[in-house]
Structure 1
Amino acid sequence: METTFSLRKRLIRYTSIFSVLLGCVLVFSAYKISLEEINEILDAQMVYLAERVELNPRPIQSDFDVHKRYHEEDLFIDVWAYADQNPSKMTPHHVIIEPKQKAGFYSQDTVHGTWITYILPTPNYQIQISQQEKVREHLALELAGSMFLPYLLIIPFALLGLVYIIRRSMKPLEDFKSELAKRDSNSLVAIQNGHYPAELLPTIHEMNHLFERISVAQQEQRQFVADAAHELRTPLTALNLQTEILMSQFPEEGNLQNLSKGLARMQHLVTQLLALAKQDASLSHEVQVTQFKLNDVALSCVEQLMNLAMEKDIDLGFVRNEPVILKSVEHSIHSIIFNLIDNAIKYTPVAGMINVSVFADIHDFAYVLIEDSGSGIDPEMYDKVLKRFYRVHHHLEVGSGLGLSIVDKAIQHLGGDLTLSRSEELGGLSVLVKIPIQPNVKAD
């Protein structure tokens, strides 16, 4: 499984590591440069001291204390005559180099560490100026540390500054993510790239091309569904009329009854497909918001479906009908209520009951409650019945599995909520529709 990572955290981490490594390189470079400069200064000092001794040479033996820590100003002067002393037989506390014929610097390793010695030979004496190498190394390290200290003090503030710069630089990514998160799920409008950096433009262009391709594909799909449903209405109507004529002539023929039921189901499916195509088209275009009475729309739906209810001897009517003025998309509200009542009639048994309620609350929301005395739906099936073409009662011949899906999408587009539950009064399904009284249509 691939793990995700934060680009911002990675930049901060790598920048911090780079800063630490840079500090190490700075210390090492400062140490080397300081040691080189110290060597030049102290070498010149040793040469100068040897030349001063050469003006009045006399035997001198320095005293070295192994327990004392010496500094850069501590130089050891030794002068010995060639005729009187043999350096190999002397027992000094530091190095005594054998006679040299050429003046210069020499390095000697002893039990007390490495020594740097300047030898200046004269006709009768050898002048030797010595110094411990570790004295110079300690001094160089101190100078490098003093140079690194300001860097050490500044680096935390520099890192904070880098973190701030990185966060500011990454803000367009956060803005881009926020813009995508705020977009409606049905929105395929191109992303405006005027305020994004050049690095994001290729991604935005590709996403806009993707939105365009999806929009074209959806439009073709909607057009196909609408055309197919529209073209099927005429032949289905003709077949239904012919079937009714045959049924009137042969009322006892059972096959004609089955054919009539099949045609009714096909007509219902075509009607639902047309409603679905109309709804999908409204989701991608600007809709017209008007002011109307919700009670009139609900009453119109009840009147249109009263004949279907009477065929099954269903008691369909209002139990609560408070006046509600709504400012919304009227045809969408009509589609919602019509489909819910139609769905209730299908799944309510003969001689059942359907109650319709219309009311509002003080929070600027309108409600439509539709309850039936049918068998209801198990709570674990509530999410599934909102999917397209999903049917709970497959034994019923009439029904396409599109009704609740159309209702749910229309309510979402209006900024409302759909709640399914069991009716406490009738025992069947209870459907509560919550719609904002003021316009709350989701824009693309």
Structure 2
Amino acid sequence: MKQFDGITNQHVRELDKRHVFHSWSAQAKLDPLAFASGAGCLLWDYEGREYLDFSSQLINTNVGHQHPRVVRAIQEQAAQLCTIAPAAANLARGEAAQRILARAPRGFEKVFFTNGGADANENAIRMARQVTGRDKVLSAYRSYHGNTGAAIVATGDPRRVPNEYARGHVHFFNPYLYRSEFHARDEDEECERALRHLRRVIECEGGGAIAAILLESVPGTAGVLVPPRDYLKGVRALADEFGALLIMDEVMVGFGRTGAWFAFEHFDVTPDLITFAKGVNSGYVPAGGVIVPERICAYFAERVFPGGLTYSGHPLAMAAIVATLDAMQEEDMVGNAQRIGRDVLGPGLRALGARHAAIGEVRGMGLFWALELVANADTRAPISATHAAAIKAECLARGLLAFFVENRVHVAPPCLVTAQQVDDALSRLDDAFTAVFGSATGA
């Protein structure tokens, strides 16, 4: 058991609760976990207790915790040059952009770096409005795009409501067959009806007024909603028909999470703009960006782009990107995510779903999965908040970190996870469900 200089978890928690203002929280109800160190898929608290991290924190530590190559790259860059203004040229920045573009589709030329995913989406929206001369941005109700001005209004989930200060945002329903808004009976019907609905929204809002359609390639926080096979192709066709840009938000799913460098690759579609953050350097130093194609770069060749950030392309973040992408390539982490998801994690979660009636649906791809929990399999009524809290508590009691949202358990380990670690996590999940809901079906 690791120990950390006699520091206790309680001391760290009290310090945090006394001085740190937390996001999305009623401050008086907080009792945060305290973490001191990590390695790969493991974390330790200050008293040496070990946790198996199957949340990748906020689904961003794709290379796991404390990857030595990334840590070393940050240290070496800090020793050479900690920061430089974005107007200057810097080797780390240029190499980071070069590596990102090498993994992007043909025709993408440059990267505009931001501090994270929210401002990546902000600047993609800004580019779309500038290039098209239009104002409206369409995005899904089941989505999350960040917590800054336009990004939070583009977001569809209820966190948008107290924050609606930006203009020109319109929402539509994206596919979700398990809880279909379109009374669909199968995936093909869900796809066809969702696209018809989107067409009607575009027509009613004025096709010539739409600057962009902004979509997560696979909506994450909303429930790991893997779209029907042809849905993104249909959205691409609608964007082309009405002259809008298609922005794919790859903040959560990019850089290996779904078993491909970009999640949209699974659906044979190419967007006009790509936003990213999180997995590009596993969050070791905050970074995000917009991948920009040649034609949009050409538009701004003689026109000033009206946007910028003090820390755009911060050298420490750029060094972390270079090391992260090199490590992922050399250690075949994207291939590992695809294989482990297909052969171990996906089948294991489906078997868990067959064993426990509370698991209404299992869905996902690569190392990006969700278990939707229901009180009744026939009505699909979600489990109560009490039961959801109990599942989370039982997982924590077993040293398992997952990503909990409403009535869902999201399972998203780092891309270097092993089959043995997956089996271990599945066993802990099985025990947690049994503790809350009783013996498994057929046990």
Range class of TM-score, shorter chain? under 0.3
Structure of greater relative contact order (alpha carbons < 8 Å, 6+ residues apart): 2
TM-score, scaled relative to structure 2: 0.20
Bigger Rg, structure 1 or 2? 1
More helix by share: 1
TM-score, scaled relative to structure 1: 0.19
